[in-house]
Amino acid sequence: MSAWTPASWQSKPACQMAEWEDKALATKVLDKLGKLPPLVQASECEKLKQRLAEAGRGERFIIQGGDCAERFIDCEADRLETQLKLILQMGTIIEHVTGKPTVRICRIAGQY
């Protein structure tokens, strides 16, 4: 397996990538995004990998939900908060019923 770097994805075949009309603007935006802090910390990724492995061994239950095709107009704080609360409630119910901890995974704004 090759080593991962922030730019390593650019060497992969782009089979379903958007074609940006304004390539200069797209480059400017990607450069700006590249300077921002990560949305997810490395420690969170490691914790998720550990919990998914526990689920694979039957020690945890996975709760997964969210949208993968919402519109920009639907990405509002109240709607997102409602989705998160639902996933948390589902996890609590499953933990109560099964006696096992859960891994809660929520996909929001997946196509962006």
66 φψ region: left (φ > 0), alpha (ψ -120 to 50), beta (else): left
102, 63 Cβ separation under 8 angstroms: yes
For residues 74 and 8, give the distance between their C-alpha atoms in angstroms, rounded to a whole number.
32
- Looking at residue 1, its pLDDT comes to 63
Q: Provide the 3-class DSSP secondary structure of residue 103.
A: strand
pLDDT digits (tens, 9 = 90+) for 5-37: 878 878 888 787 778 899 999 999 989 988 999
Global pTM exceeds 0.75? no
Rg (CA), the chain: 18
> CB burial class (10 A; 0-12, 13-18, 19+) of residue 63?
buried
